[in-house]
Amino acid sequence: MSLYSKILLFFVGLIILLSIVTTYSGIQSIEQIAVNELEKSLASDINLFSFSMDREFYHIEAQLRFLSTSSGFREAVSRRDVGRIREAFAGQLRGGNVDVLHLSDDRSRPILTVRNRLANESLTIPPMDVRNPSKGFTSIDNGTGKKAALFVSLPLKGQKAILSQLVILDNASPLVRNLSDLLSRKRDEPVYVSIFMNDKRMFSTIFSLTGAHTQDLPEEVITALHGEGKNYIGKTTIGKASYYTIYKPSPYNVKGSGDWAYGIAVGEGIFLPFKKRLLFILVMVSALATSAAIVITFLLTRGVNPSLRSILSICSSIGKGDALSRIDEKTIKIREFSLIASSINTMLDSISQRERTIAENMKEISAINAELREKTKMIRRDRMRFLSILETMDEGVVALDHEGTIIYYNRAAAAITGTDSAEAMGNSYRSIFPALNVSGNNHTVLQEFVIGRQGSEEPLYLKAFVSPWSLENNAPPGHILLLQDVSREKRIEEFKADFVSSINHDIKSFLMPVSGFLSRILQGKYGAVEGELRNRLFGIQENVSKIHHLVENYLNVSKIESGKLDFTVGPFDINEIIRDVVSLYSPRVTFAEGTGHPLVLADRDYIERVIINLLVNALKFSPEDSEVVIGTRRENNMLVVFVRDRGVGIPAAELPFIFERYRRGSLGRKEEGSGLGLFIVKSVIEGHGGSIWVESTPGKGSTFSFSLPVFQGEI
């Protein structure tokens, strides 16, 4: 097949393809225009629906207000005369579109319910607003299922009662039938009405065709109606068929009755006859246009063949190596092909010039290659030097890529963990260090963790310095781990903690008989003690108590450092503890009790020590005539306890360090205290999952606050 034939076939095929695409696009565009017109019409229909609902609510409310103004009816309600109330309700039922009349007292207890429909079925009516008139949609449980209904409730405050009227929305409802008939006559085709509660289609006139009773709404419809509060227009599947629908959120949603909406739908087949006629017209127009385009293309391309043969002949010579050949542009009759020939001649001139340039560039490339080889040798030497340094380090070095895969594992890391480098490479770091968390871009993050030691039952304590690294600025970062074996230091700390605990325990054991003996002396067990001797003995007893408190603090610090501070956790009312402690220090201490009495989940004895410690500190650093306030408040799932004094306060520079061990305030009495109290308080509170903080102004006082988890009903 000649090139000319190929070009002709190409243009003919292209014209046919464009014709098909144009036809299809035209159908889609016109159909979309029709859909847009339908959507506008549906919007008009839903507005008519809304107007009908507004009118029905107004009509029901007017009926109720007329009934409530009757003096006989109000007197019957005041006396709870069920017979007279029933007579008034019977007249109301005969007078309009009423399904249920309901009267309840101001505690929502039913007094009388009269029904026009569902007379033989049990009926459960939701409670109505006892203060204000209300109206909207609600669901009624008739024993076999829930039905949608319109309601209007009117409080009768003088009679301590609530008068309600309900209209059930189903196929038997005159309101639904009239509205459906009106919309169908307007559109000259079936129109279906639906009522929704939350994500359920409570009622639809189409259920008589589908046999269904309820149906869930799609997520996109729920989001538009109840999430964004706007109308939804589009295709929706009802039963097993698709319909064009418009849904609108109800403006009468009442708290406690759910989120209600309503909508209308028309069948999808509305466009089928129109689409068939449109398709026939467009296909015929496309066929005629295609035929005309083919004829015109044939006439326009008749002169292409001679020009192409001339160009192809010269191109064949060039392909055989004759780079000096040129096309005679005078023999080309068609302007476009003349331009092609001119471009080919220009291209050949450029090729000759570039051949000379390439020869010069090859010389430069040879020089660059020689330089690259020399730099490669230098890089290789630097790499070997760097690896030698890493392999001779005493600390373990582990490199991770951005996915946490180990890409380098030095000799020290293998010796510390007992894992061979070849086994570690290519695995996730969590397979070797499961307790380590590597994330973020912070430099030099210190973490301590424990892993099992191969061939030994003793754990391996590791300290890791984590830093991010990246070869490029925009590349996801990896991490470098610098590992240190701190097992020996941990064992020394545990030994020291056990030793301190043992010494403190012995001191405490020796102090107990001394304290008891002093108490018996002061109680007169060994004779009367008066005057200066009694004062001296009281001083000795006070110092023994301080030593006992100091030893107790050291024991707690020892437990904290060794991780042996155990809590007996259980629910209790912290207000009881606060009231008992306040009674010991009154009248200087007052209790500002918060609202509610939530239980906290904690160790009662330790929390009592925390409260006493904070109160003693507040009293110690406050004037004798000043008041200390302790109180509670609820914040989400935490209970906050605060102790506020008007003492000397804490300088701003010392606030970040006051919870550290052996730290005492510079504005307080330096001769008293070990500086361990606030450290122990912080450890106890954080051990319960809470937190502690302080707000202070020098010269005006301080407020210490801590939080504890509220008991949620289970441990």
Residue 70 pLDDT greater than 80, yes or no: yes
Residue 372 in domain: no
d(Cα 677, Cα 673) in Å, to the nearest integer? 8
pLDDT at 617: 86
- 567-587 per-position pLDDT tens digit: 788 899 999 999 988 887 888
For residue 694, what pLDDT band results from cuts at 50, 70 and 90?
very high
Residue 153, C-beta contacts closer than 8 angstroms, at least 6 positions apart: 128, 129, 133, 134, 135, 162, 163, 164
CB 451 within 8 A of CB 460: yes
Q: Decide which of 418 and 681 is more confident.
A: 681
pLDDT > 70 fraction of the chain, expressed in percent and rounded: 77
Q: Please state the domain count of the chain.
A: 4
Residue 693 pLDDT greater than 90, yes or no: yes
Residue 57 in domain: yes
Amino acid (1-letter code) at residue 206: I
Do 530 and 594 fall into the same domain?
Answer: no
Residue 369 in domain: no
Amino acid (1-letter code) at residue 212: A
Residue 554 pLDDT greater than 70, yes or no: no
Task: Show the tokens assigned to 602.
Answer: 């904690």
For residues 485-497, average pLDDT: 71
- 507-525 per-position pLDDT tens digit: 656 666 766 677 777 777 7
Residue 306 in domain: no
- Domain range spanning residue 133? 44-275
pLDDT at 705: 94
Do 505 and 621 fall into the same domain?
Answer: no
CATH number at residue 122: 3.30.450.220
Residue 691 pLDDT greater than 90, yes or no: yes
Handedness of CA 332, 338, 340, 344 (dihedral sign): positive
pLDDT at 692: 93
pLDDT at 538: 66
Residue 407 in domain: yes
Residue 165 pLDDT greater than 70, yes or no: yes
Residue 301 pLDDT greater than 70, yes or no: no
Do 555 and 578 fall into the same domain?
Answer: no
pLDDT at 500: 62
Do 261 and 215 fall into the same domain?
Answer: yes
Residue 51 pLDDT greater than 70, yes or no: yes
CATH number at residue 543: 1.10.287
Lowest mean pLDDT, pick from 123-132, 501-510, 661-670:
661-670
Do 495 and 474 fall into the same domain?
Answer: no
Residue 622 pLDDT greater than 60, yes or no: yes
CB 667 within 8 A of CB 648: yes
Task: Show the tokens assigned to 444.
Answer: 């030099």
For residue 670, what pLDDT band results from cuts at 50, 70 and 90?
very low
Neighbours of 255 (CB within 10 A): 8
Residue 701 pLDDT greater than 80, yes or no: yes
Tell me the backbone φ, ψ of residue 604, rounded to 5 degrees.
Answer: -60, -45
pLDDT at 49: 84
Q: Decide which of 156 and 117 is more confident.
A: 156
Do 550 and 686 fall into the same domain?
Answer: no
Residue 121 pLDDT greater than 80, yes or no: no
Do 698 and 644 fall into the same domain?
Answer: yes
Do 512 and 604 fall into the same domain?
Answer: no
Write out the DSSP string of 364-425.
Answer: HHHHHHHHHHHHHHHHHHHHHHHHHHHHH-SSEEEEE-TTSBEEEE-HHHHHHH---HHHHT
For residues 343-347, average pLDDT: 79
Last residue in a domain, options 482, 511, 531? 482
Residue 3 pLDDT greater than 60, yes or no: no
Last residue in a domain, options 500, 535, 560? 560
Residue 13 in domain: no
- 214-227 per-position pLDDT tens digit: 788 888 888 888 88
With vertex at residue 4, the alpha carbon angle to CA 3 and CA 7, rounded to the nearest 5 degrees, is 85
- 80-98 per-position pLDDT tens digit: 888 888 888 888 777 667 8
Q: Decide which of 126 and 682 is more confident.
A: 682
For residue 388, what pLDDT band results from cuts at 50, 70 and 90?
confident
Tell me the backbone φ, ψ of residue 428, rounded to 5 degrees.
Answer: -70, 145
Find tokens 């070997």 and name the residue: 384
CB 231 within 8 A of CB 220: no
- Best-predicted range by mean pLDDT (114-128, 194-208, 317-331): 194-208
Q: Decide which of 6 and 345 is more confident.
A: 345
Last residue in a domain, options 226, 241, 275? 275
Do 252 and 126 fall into the same domain?
Answer: yes
Q: Decide which of 302 and 108 is more confident.
A: 108
Q: Decide which of 160 and 12 is more confident.
A: 160
Region for 679 from its dihedrals, namely left if φ exceeds 0, alpha if ψ lies in -120 to 50, beta otherwise? alpha
- 235-276 per-position pLDDT tens digit: 888 777 788 888 889 888 877 778 889 888 887 666 555 556
Strand 161-168: give its sheet, edge to edge: 110-115, 100-105, 161-168, 146-156, 134-141
Residue 428 in domain: yes
Do 621 and 525 fall into the same domain?
Answer: no
Find tokens 């319109």 and name the residue: 150
pLDDT at 671: 42
Task: Show the tokens assigned to 522.
Answer: 């002061």
CATH number at residue 399: 3.30.450.20
Lowest mean pLDDT, pick from 185-189, 368-372, 491-495, 597-601:
491-495
pLDDT at 583: 87
Do 445 and 580 fall into the same domain?
Answer: no
- 137-152 per-position pLDDT tens digit: 888 887 777 888 888 9
CATH number at residue 584: 3.30.565.10
pLDDT at 207: 78
CB 193 within 8 A of CB 139: no
Long-range contacts, stretch 655-659, CB < 8 angstroms, 24+ apart: 655/694, 655/696, 658/694, 659/692
Alpha-carbon radius of gyration of the chain: 46
Do 190 and 64 fall into the same domain?
Answer: yes
Handedness of CA 560, 563, 566, 572 (dihedral sign): positive
Residue 315 in domain: no
Q: Decide which of 19 and 2 is more confident.
A: 19
d(Cα 490, Cα 484) in Å, to the nearest integer? 12
